Structure 1
Amino acid sequence: MRKLLGIVGFLALVQGVMGLVGRFTEVDWGVVNRLGFLDGYEVYASVALIALACALFAAAENPASD
């Protein structure tokens, strides 16, 4: 379970960072910039993904997640 949480956390972190980079550099990277219903909210969605990644990494470190 730890490995799965780590992988999902890594993917969320990468997508969040790619969303922020894509928003500020006008490069069309990541899932956040391609979803139409997030138009105008890309920064908030990217920050939420980064926060989710931090929570997933914390849960992966928890010994009870085995």
Structure 2
Amino acid sequence: MKRLLEILGFLALVQGVLGLVQRFTGWGGGLVHRFLGDHQIFASVVLIVLAFALFAAAESRKGP
């Protein structure tokens, strides 16, 4: 379960960063722009916050 939370956190972080990079530079891609065009900045920030929450949840889990 810990590994799954880490993977989901990493994916959320990557998509959030890609969304912000695409919005401010026009470079790159990502799923945020395709699905939430007008709300891209808000969705990207939410994804980054979600990523850190998932990393914190993974750290609080017991096990390897």
Q: Same fold (TM over 0.5)?
A: yes
**Aligned counterparts, 1:1-66, within 5 A:** 1-35=1-35, 38-64=36-62
Identify the structure with the greater helix proportion. 2
**Distance in 2, Cα, partners of 1:5 & 1:63:** 10
TM-score where L is the length of structure 2: 0.90
Unaligned runs of 5+ in 2: none
Q: Deviations over 1:7-52 (max 9, x none)?
A: 00000000000000000011241100111xx222100000000000
Q: Number of aligned pairs? A: 64
In percent, how many aligned pairs have the same letter?
58
Once the two structures are TM-superposed, the CA of residue 64 in structure 1 deviates from its matched residue by: 5.0
Q: How much is the aligned-residue C-alpha RMSD, in angstroms?
A: 1.7
